[in-house]
Amino acid sequence: MKAKKEIKTEKVSKQKELGLTADKDDFTEWFTQLMIKADLADYTDVSGCIIFKPSSYAMWEKIKSETDKRFKKLGVKNCSFPMLIPEKYLTKEKEHVKGFAPQVAWVTEAGESKLSERLAIRPTSETIMYPSYSKWIRSWRDLPLKLNQWNSVIRWEFAHPVPFFRTREFLWNELHTVLATEKDALQEGEDILEAYDDVGTNEMALYGLVGKKTEKEKFAGAISSTKIHYILPNGRIIEGPCFHYDGQNFSKAYDIKFLNENGKEQYGFQCTYAITTRMLGTMFAMHSDEKGLIIPPKMAPNKIVIIPILFDDSKEKVLKKAGEIAKDLEKFDAFVDSRENYKPGFKFNEWELKGIPLRIEIGPRDLDKGIVVIARRDTSEKKEVKIKDINKFVEKALEEMQNSLLEKSKKLFKSKIEKTSSFDELKKLIENKKVGIVPMCKNVECEDKLKAETKGAKAVFISEDKIKNEKCIICKKKAEYFVYCGKVY
């Protein structure tokens, strides 16, 4: 094209090396490349722990602030408890400790001294928070108590770590509440799940389905666990934000009692909620493609990059206009990539790789015509836009992109699920990277058998569909519910 007098650039032939070389179908390789090359995260020598680099961390901060905003309306307050938990605290609720003990990282020494009691790094904070709850709560007037922490926890999983999806340290919120009645607790559960789902749907463009876990899969110490589930293009189910209803299990173990309005002593009803950095992985994996990262505009730290096409004789003029446009688009955190040692094509690729939702190209000829070219990251669609119309155009384009990604995620979900009553068909579905909805009884052995014969798929959550005269897909006895079966991360 108009490259005759283009400013000399350093020899840059990194293009290929910079971009992704794997197909999205080759999910693990593709995702690993995406994580590193889009500058989202990096490994360290601490096995199973990753670095959240500024761009992914900025998106985590967005998840935090959006969740906090919704939590605040529901009366949740943030606080901070110690990260270390004395062993004797951890072991008070028996099911809970059984679930977590195999994954606990233990502090046994400090400086030159051996500690008299081992301290766990929190795998979750019930056991350090509830002794204080027991002390603080006296009367029904102290309820509801809704304390939340944004922190990181360590669970020393021995399964293969996958960045964002399964890491030994991850970031999350943990909200632990006490209510006076079961009814209040279950209502709160609905409200908080709705808040999480709102963040997932309307900020992260992720279509998810709320579903209760089976007895086998519920949280250690809970009466029931309910999560929001997503399905990735590779057919894996992702367990997203969760609500564990603990009833009085912990309040009895940790002596969380209050005098009710009739002056009678009573144990509190408790709930636990979390959203984790796994949501980042879900969002990256859901929307991105072979060119790199695609993220919903609402989540993007910078929504627009402006790339000036620079020639010796018009450089100044073009840069000046680019700067003006950036200023005009300040509320979208627009920025100009004015580096002279890279060609425009290289820059296009780099910012596509890194997932900036909109790219504005502006060269001297465009300037003469009073236009720019705007390209959308998700569709690669390019449009000429009059300079005076840019603001209106990008506002609309960003909104359309946000909606379109959600729509795509919803379609994908629907396309991935299929009902069947045949175990053979279920196996085929799973081989084809799909999720089956199948009738099952409540027998844990059937779940075990399902897992064994499908190379690791499991009954992930219970469908709300009514069941009538169906038979369990495994034992052929009376089925109790439909369950979503598939592989999970």
Binding site residues, its own copies, CB under 8 A: 42, 44-46, 49-54, 57-58, 60-61, 77-86, 89, 101-112, 118-119, 121, 128, 131-132, 135-136, 147, 151-152, 154, 156, 158, 169, 171
For residue 82, the minimal CB distance to its own copies (Å) is: 4
For residue 114, the minimal CB distance to its own copies (Å) is: 10
Torsions phi, psi of 393, nearest 5?
A: -65, -50
- Residue environment code for 52-64, b if the CB has 16+ CB neighbours within 10 A, otherwise e: beebbbebbebbb
The amino acid sitting at 108 is: T
Of 7 and 51, CB closest to its own copies? 51
Of 1 and 159, CB closest to its own copies? 159
For tokens 């999970």, the residue is 488
For residue 103, the minimal CB distance to its own copies (Å) is: 6
For residue 45, the minimal CB distance to its own copies (Å) is: 6
Of 148 and 420, CB closest to its own copies? 148
Of 67 and 224, CB closest to its own copies? 67
Q: How many CB atoms lie within 10 A of CB 119?
A: 20
Of 169 and 480, CB closest to its own copies? 169
Which of helix, strand or coil describes residue 269? Answer: strand
Of 103 and 234, CB closest to its own copies? 103
**Rama region for 380: left / alpha / beta (φ>0; ψ in -120 to 50; rest):** left
For residue 332, the minimal CB distance to its own copies (Å) is: 16
Half-sphere exposure of residue 26: CA atoms within 13 angstroms, side-chain side: 10
For residue 70, the minimal CB distance to its own copies (Å) is: 16
Of 78 and 403, CB closest to its own copies? 78
Of 262 and 469, CB closest to its own copies? 262
Q: How far is CA 395 from CA 235, 263, 357, in A?
A: 33, 58, 12
Strands 435-440 and 417-419: parallel
Of 82 and 345, CB closest to its own copies? 82
Of 6 and 169, CB closest to its own copies? 169
| 402 close to 452: Cβ distance less than 8 angstroms | no
Q: How many CB atoms lie within 10 A of CB 169?
A: 16
Residues 6+ apart with CB under 8 A from 356: 300, 302, 303, 304, 305, 377
Of 158 and 262, CB closest to its own copies? 158
For residue 166, the minimal CB distance to its own copies (Å) is: 15
CA 84: distance to chain centroid?
26
For residue 53, the minimal CB distance to its own copies (Å) is: 6
For residue 116, the minimal CB distance to its own copies (Å) is: 10
> What would you measure as the largest C-alpha separation in the chain, in angstroms?
88
Integer Cα distance of 413 and 233 in angstroms: 8
Per DSSP, 222 falls in state: -
Q: How many CB atoms lie within 10 A of CB 451?
A: 16
Torsions phi, psi of 322, nearest 5?
A: -60, -40
For residue 395, the minimal CB distance to its own copies (Å) is: 24
User: Alpha helices, DSSP H only, in 12-53?
Assistant: 15-18, 27-37
Integer Cα distance of 19 and 465 in angstroms: 44
Rg, the chain, Cα only: 26
For residue 305, the minimal CB distance to its own copies (Å) is: 17
Q: How many CB atoms lie within 10 A of CB 82?
A: 11
